[in-house]
Amino acid sequence: MPCFTMLPQSFLLFLLLITIPTSMSDSFDNGPRYDYGFRNDDGFFAGELLLWGVASTTSGALELTSSVRQSTGHAFHQRSLGPVSSFSATFVFLIIPPENLDGLSGHGIAFTLSTKTEFMFSALPSQYLGILDAENNGNVTNQLFAVEFDTVQNHEFEDIDDNHVGIDVNSMVSINSHTAGYYTANGTFAPLRLASGEPMQVWMDYDGNSHNLNVSLAPYLKQKPQRPLLSSTVNLTSVLGNDSFYAGFSSATGALWSNHYIIGWSFNTTGEAQLVNYTGMSQVIENVRQKIDDGQEAHRSNNQRGIVLPIIIPTVFVILVIPAVVYVLKKKAGKNGRWEIECGTPSFTYKDLATATRSFSDTMVLGKGGFGKVYKGVLQTSKQIVAIKRVSPESMQGMKEFIAEITILGQLRHRNLVQLLGYSRHKNELLLVYDYMPNGSLDRVLHGQDRQVLDWVYRLNIIKGIASGLFYLHEDWEKVVIHRDIKTSNVLLDCEMKARLSDFGLARLHNHGTDAHTTRFAGTWGYIAPELARLGRATKETDVFAFGVVMLEVACGRRPIEVNNSGEPVLLTDWVLHAWESGSVLMTVDPRLEDYIREEVELVLKLGLLCSHSVPSARPCMRLVMQYLEKDVPLPDFQPCFFSITIRDDGVDQYIMPFTSVATATGGLSGGR
Ligand SMILES: *[C@@H]1O[C@H](CO)[C@@H](O)[C@H](O)[C@H]1NC(C)=O
Ligand SMILES: *[C@@H]1O[C@H](CO)[C@@H](O)[C@H](O)[C@H]1NC(C)=O
Ligand SMILES: *[C@@H]1O[C@H](CO)[C@@H](O)[C@H](O)[C@H]1NC(C)=O
Ligand SMILES: *[C@@H]1O[C@H](CO)[C@@H](O)[C@H](O)[C@H]1NC(C)=O
Ligand SMILES: *[C@@H]1O[C@H](CO)[C@@H](O)[C@H](O)[C@H]1NC(C)=O
Ligand SMILES: *[C@@H]1O[C@H](CO)[C@@H](O)[C@H](O)[C@H]1NC(C)=O
Ligand SMILES: *[C@@H]1O[C@H](CO)[C@@H](O)[C@H](O)[C@H]1NC(C)=O
């Protein structure tokens, strides 16, 4: 596995297929019955489950996820059911949030009915709960029905809050949802906290004739509420078709995590599903809690030992089955302790990361950026290779906001972004853990010592990749994320030489806590739009400007600012524009490029100029940039003089027309190329 990313596919390796005892097969047909907990010791129910990802049966319970971040766990009953008809299901779940995280928990459990089980190979963790991914979300071909018990609010999926139950049909956007809780006998609503560490029971009833579906929730050992929490009409036949389907559970962790458990489960197609042995289940719940307490106790004493003894770096790594097992950082005394209660416990301990980088040895330094050094690290437990960035926010106040933002950044997920895996805090510095990118930065590939020549095909793909990542940040995600520091050294290349944007959002975070009136803008000379230099405010347009410079840099193989023969600094944009004015824009193409398609290079050069136009309103938005690059929309046929429009010192020139009208005008005037 050359690419050490935590793709859910990698969990295929951990597929646990427990064979069904032959004696069980007959009773299934008479009405499936799987309750009493998932006992490993006597193999009573564990034998009927297919487990994927980090799911396992432990202490008589089904553990869907443990404290592993960015992970998914799936469990399905081995026998398929169907075609779908009326059914009744009930189960008891338990979500144990991490210690000292002030109830913060991620991401939840989904009860699923699906015609396929393969989805767990591609489904994403975090907000996707291990059931869908960005590509198939909302597609009817998923044939997936789920009831989500979601503990994180995602505006992207129109989540109502961070503690809700929702009915999902082929999509993460619920067709009906309600804050977790139940209606008491007198009709009042009693709210419940899903991630309270307390067990709860769920009931689901589906009428195959009326297509009425009810979902209820109540504290463990309480009666089934008379009035359901959710009642919807869902034609499950149209969702699942006439095919057979699988019933089961999915759960996921992200930047936030929880231990998610199913204690007991019963599914009945001939009558009301009932859990029978509550005595047995109570015992299982006790066992699970005991196990978690023991684990935390063990980590506490380990950490204490770690403080007393010097850290000796082991050279032989222990190979474990589960990737990236991360530990709850011990609650620290005094002011640090308070901070952690407020802001959450880091996912990786400082010790883990110190070990991974040989105590932040200089030999492990990958690079140095505006925020500090970046180290290569090998996580001891999983042997996963990661990149660890050491950042020092300017104040403790800034640190707190930093963490809040990091939690959000951990949810960003795109094939052209470097995935944030987690973080750790140590004194007044933050350690951010990212996927490791084996091919380094675009800056190094373009301008590095070895002057490795990157073919045009790769260059164009890299440009498209950056555009796609930036489009996601600007327009495709729930919040607008301004990158603020687009440059070739922030574009990393993965094992397939595809572009991945790094450091998104960090520039703004870095400024948190500083006085608003003296906020220094972040950015790198050569990539800074004129209005950013004047007004200090980063916008989507200032990102587009920097992206335009990157496009030119990639096509020309030159830095944004180079010194000419007479020792004067020359802006790349001016140089390209000048070449265009005095003949052909193609004169600026990187002379090392041997094979390229003239039209493509010309498009990139002209689009690069357009993106880095000095007038913000003349720059296209990222959606349009993508369309130009994909040749879905032809680039308007403007002339070099279009770039001579500038901004006067006293503000925006009154005579500048927005780009669309200029484009139409120039496009109409000059025929075709
Ligand atoms: C839905 O998924 C199918 C099969 O994966 C695919 O062919 C189709 O293009 C998808 N539809 C949409 C709207 O994405
Ligand atoms: C309804 O019942 C709950 C307990 O089941 C009780 O706490 C609440 O006060 C009752 N409300 C009314 C209006 O009677
Ligand atoms: C759902 O609940 C409503 C109201 O309590 C009830 O009338 C209906 O029969 C229930 N449907 C099912 C499938 O149990
Ligand atoms: C439910 O969906 C199936 C399959 O699409 C369809 O044949 C049936 O008529 C639908 N039932 C209702 C009540 O809409
Ligand atoms: C399911 O089967 C029924 C009866 O065999 C048929 O009427 C219906 O069209 C089928 N629906 C689908 C979605 O295949
Ligand atoms: C399913 O329902 C039937 C009829 O009410 C009942 O006899 C049977 O015990 C139920 N099975 C389970 C597992 O709840
Ligand atoms: C319920 O579970 C407990 C603990 O596993 C066991 O001792 C007891 O026999 C079970 N009771 C029934 C009725 O199955």
- State the Cα torsion 390-392-393-394 to the nearest 10°: -160
Report the C-alpha gap between 467 and 371 in whole angstroms: 24
Q: Tell me, what's the pLDDT at 23?
A: 24
Residue to substitute in 41, 277, 282, 286 for testing ligand 7 pocket (most ligand atoms within 8 angstroms of CB): 277
Nearest residue (by CA) to ligand 7, atom 4, is: 280
The percentage of the chain sitting over the pLDDT mark of 90, rounded to a whole number, equals 36
Q: Tell me, what's the pLDDT at 322?
A: 26
Q: Tell me, what's the pLDDT at 156?
A: 84
How much distance in Å is there from the Cα of 93 to the middle of ligand 7?
19
Q: Does the structure show a pLDDT above 70 at 660?
A: no
How much distance in Å is there from the Cα of 196 to the middle of ligand 5?
43
539 and 426 within one domain: no
242 and 94 within one domain: yes
Ligand 1 atom with least separation from CA of 140: 1
Q: Tell me, what's the pLDDT at 281?
A: 85
Q: Does the structure show a pLDDT above 90 at 138?
A: yes
369 and 278 within one domain: no
651 and 554 within one domain: yes
165 and 71 within one domain: yes
Nearest residue (by CA) to ligand 6, atom 13, is: 33
Q: Tell me, what's the pLDDT at 646?
A: 58
The segment with the largest mean pLDDT, out of 325-334, 363-372, 531-540, is 531-540
Smallest Cα–Cα separation from 195: which of 77, 262, 97, 69? 97
**Higher per-residue pLDDT: 348 or 201:** 201
Report the C-alpha gap between 398 and 406 in whole angstroms: 12
Average pLDDT of the residues in 140-169: 94
301: enclosing H helix or E strand: helix 278-308
Cis status of the peptide bond prior to 83, with omega within 30 of 0? yes
575 and 552 within one domain: yes
E strand intervals along 234-303: 246-252, 259-268
Nearest residue (by CA) to ligand 7, atom 6, is: 280
How much distance in Å is there from the Cα of 242 to the middle of ligand 5?
6
The answer, yes or no, to whether any atom of ligand 7 lies below 6 A from the CB of 282, is no
Residue to substitute in 85, 141, 239, 242 for testing ligand 5 pocket (most ligand atoms within 8 angstroms of CB): 242
Range of the domain at 416: 350-435
Ligand 5 atom with least separation from CA of 238: 13
Q: Tell me, what's the pLDDT at 399?
A: 64
Nearest residue (by CA) to ligand 1, atom 1, is: 139
- Indicate the range of 238-242, 424-428, 614-618 predicted with least confidence: 424-428
Report the C-alpha gap between 218 and 386 in whole angstroms: 42
Report the C-alpha gap between 91 and 109 in whole angstroms: 12
Q: Tell me, what's the pLDDT at 338?
A: 26
Q: Tell me, what's the pLDDT at 342?
A: 29
The answer, yes or no, to whether any atom of ligand 6 lies below 6 A from the CB of 277, is no
- Establish whether 485 is a catalytic residue: yes
How much distance in Å is there from the Cα of 164 to the middle of ligand 2?
22
Q: Tell me, what's the pLDDT at 401?
A: 60
Q: Does the structure show a pLDDT above 70 at 198?
A: yes
Report if residue 415 sits inside a domain. Answer: yes
For position 661, which CATH number holds? Answer: 1.10.510.10
Report if residue 630 sits inside a domain. Answer: yes
The percentage of the chain sitting over the pLDDT mark of 70, rounded to a whole number, equals 75
Q: Does the structure show a pLDDT above 80 at 400?
A: no
502 and 383 within one domain: no
Q: Decide: 477 and 485 in contact? Cβ < 8 Å.
A: no
For residue 173, which amino acid is it? Answer: V
**pLDDT confidence band for 336 (50 / 70 / 90):** very low
The answer, yes or no, to whether any atom of ligand 7 lies below 6 A from the CB of 295, is no
Q: pLDDT tens-digit profile of 19-40?
A: 222 222 222 222 333 444 454 3
Strand partners, 111: 147, 249
HEC letters along 314-370:
CCCCCCCCCCCCCCCCCCCCHHHHHHHHHHCCCCCCHHHHHHHCCCCCHHHEEEEEC
Q: How many domains does the chain have?
A: 3
Report if residue 285 sits inside a domain. Answer: yes
Report if residue 8 sits inside a domain. Answer: no
Average pLDDT of the residues in 644-656: 47
474 and 378 within one domain: no
Of 403, 435, 467, at which residue does a domain stop?
435
Q: Tell me, what's the pLDDT at 101?
A: 66
How much distance in Å is there from the Cα of 35 to the middle of ligand 6?
11
User: Cβ atoms within 10 A of the Cβ of 226, count?
Assistant: 11
Nearest residue (by CA) to ligand 4, atom 11, is: 235
232: enclosing H helix or E strand: strand 230-233
404: enclosing H helix or E strand: helix 396-409
Find tokens 């930065």 and name the residue.
441
Average pLDDT of the residues in 394-405: 60
551 and 522 within one domain: yes
Q: pLDDT tens-digit profile of 444-463?
A: 889 887 656 889 999 999 99
For position 392, which CATH number holds? Answer: 3.30.200.20
Nearest residue (by CA) to ligand 5, atom 5, is: 242
How much distance in Å is there from the Cα of 482 to the middle of ligand 7?
58
Q: What is the DSSP letter of 381?
A: T
Q: What is the pTM of this model?
A: 0.58
- Indicate the range of 119-123, 164-168, 210-214 predicted with least confidence: 119-123
Q: Tell me, what's the pLDDT at 673?
A: 31
Report if residue 11 sits inside a domain. Answer: no
The answer, yes or no, to whether any atom of ligand 6 lies below 6 A from the CB of 27, is no
Ligand 1 atom with least separation from CA of 139: 1
Q: pLDDT tens-digit profile of 63-96?
A: 999 888 888 999 988 778 878 999 999 999 999 9
Q: pLDDT tens-digit profile of 183-197?
A: 999 999 999 999 999
Report if residue 16 sits inside a domain. Answer: no
- CB-defined site of ligand 2, < 6 Å: 184, 186, 188
Q: Which residues contact 419 (CB under 8 A, 6 or more apart)?
A: 5, 6, 70, 413, 434, 435
Of 290, 307, 331, at which residue does a domain stop?
290
> Which token pair is 400?
């707190």
Pairing state between β 420-426 and 429-435: antiparallel
Catalytic member of 159, 162, 435, 485: 485
Of 418, 435, 452, at which residue does a domain stop?
435
Could you tell me the sign of the dihedral formed by the alpha carbons of 21, 24, 28, 34, in that order?
Answer: negative
Q: pLDDT tens-digit profile of 537-570?
A: 888 999 999 999 999 999 999 999 988 888 888 8
Average pLDDT of the residues in 350-378: 83
Q: pLDDT tens-digit profile of 50-62?
A: 888 888 888 778 8
**pLDDT confidence band for 405 (50 / 70 / 90):** low
630 and 531 within one domain: yes
513 and 390 within one domain: no
Query: CA Rg, the chain, in Å?
Result: 28
517 and 471 within one domain: yes
Nearest residue (by CA) to ligand 1, atom 4, is: 141
Q: pLDDT tens-digit profile of 620-647?
A: 999 999 999 999 999 988 888 888 765 4
Q: Tell me, what's the pLDDT at 628?
A: 95
500: enclosing H helix or E strand: strand 499-501
For position 248, which CATH number holds? Answer: 2.60.120.200
